[in-house]
Amino acid sequence: MTRRERVIAALEGRAPDRIPRAYTAVPGFHHNHPGALERIEQRFPQDVVGCGYRMPEGATQGDPYAVGTYVDEWGCVFENVHAGIIGQVKEPIIGSWSALSSFKPPMHLVGHGMEDVDRTCEATDGFTLSALPLQPFERLQFLRGTEVLFYDLAEQSAEFFKLRDMVHEFNMAQLEVWSRTGIDCVFIADDWGTQRSLLISPDMWRELFKPLYADYLGLARQAGKFTYMHSDGYVIDILDDLVELGLDAVNAQVTCMDLEELSRRFAGRITFWGQMDRQHLLCFGTLEESRQASRDFFRHLASPTGGNVVTQMHIEPSAKPANIEAVLEEFAAIELPN
């Protein structure tokens, strides 16, 4: 199988020739372990590759992973006090609703930076995702501030809905362009969970945000694209909704949820695109714990064919290279049905 075929087989619940791999490391890991990821990639090549997108020059200012300030393409200013990870927005640009009348999403950037996308997708046998994630909830937090946004969600003023719909309109315009490119999969990313629950009630999520995801997944499906959604934290309360909407793969912190319940309710219904436990296991676990976690992940979440799982890790600065290799070795050793 090619790398693209391998990932597609897993997403469709068929048996790939081996379990697909996708992993990324923040700059802080590269600083702490120079050359480690490159050596790991030589042993365990990835099946998911970049799509060739480049942010237009001048759209952002600064380095999001460096100490200091970074201004993203929306004009949100992130303050960073720790090199190697991303900072936080401390002074939202719509701190009061009076600023909403003069605010405009960066619609002028839609479709730009994609000059090499089709060429890159055609030249690779790897599986490609859209480079810019659709993230309505997180974008609203960046624009309003997290604490203020929770008040907005409770009050549900006309201004809140106007801003939500502006963000959604931008996302749909962006998605329409991505859907016409050669990418394989649309990328959605919103962190909805704490360690123990959703950040808002499931009913509020269904009322205010599920319709947005329905639009994204519907448009992607019409264009023949797979769909992948990242969300940290406990999200089992909305997984049925995401399956109903047709989401192909979820990248979730499965260790924040009950693995037995995930297995019973969702194995074979959606692809679990990782994650291996990046908070504890990869940073502080033993080699045997890393191997056992890999076996448990596959045993609980793979479909009977051996499909519907992807080996995925988000590698933090304090992760141990040996644990990363142990996970990859264990997944590579799993024998799949013919």
Q: What is the pLDDT of residues 191-238, one digit of tens each?
A: 999 999 999 999 999 999 999 999 999 999 999 999 999 999 999 999
Percentage helix, strand, coil for the chain under 3-state DSSP, each rounded to 5: 45, 15, 40
With the C-alpha atoms ordered 277, 278, 279, 281, is the resulting torsion angle positive or negative? Answer: positive
Alpha-carbon distance 280 to 255, whole Å? 10
Q: What's the whole-model pTM score? A: 0.95
Helix (H) or strand (E) holding 250: strand 249-252
Three-state DSSP class for residue 2: coil
Tell me: pLDDT of 286 over 90: yes
Three-state DSSP class for residue 157: coil
80 forms beta bridges with 68
Q: What is the pLDDT of residue 26?
A: 94
DSSP assigned state of 336: P
Q: How far is CA 286 from CA 114, 190, 211, 322, 327, in A?
A: 42, 30, 43, 9, 11
Structural domains in the chain, sorted by start = 3-59+93-333 (3.20.20.210)
Tell me: pLDDT of 255 over 80: yes
271 forms beta bridges with 249
Alpha-carbon distance 180 to 102, whole Å? 31
Q: What is the pLDDT of residues 37-96, one digit of tens each?
A: 999 999 999 999 999 999 999 999 999 999 999 999 999 999 999 999 999 999 999 999
pLDDT grade for 157, boundaries at 50, 70 and 90 = very high
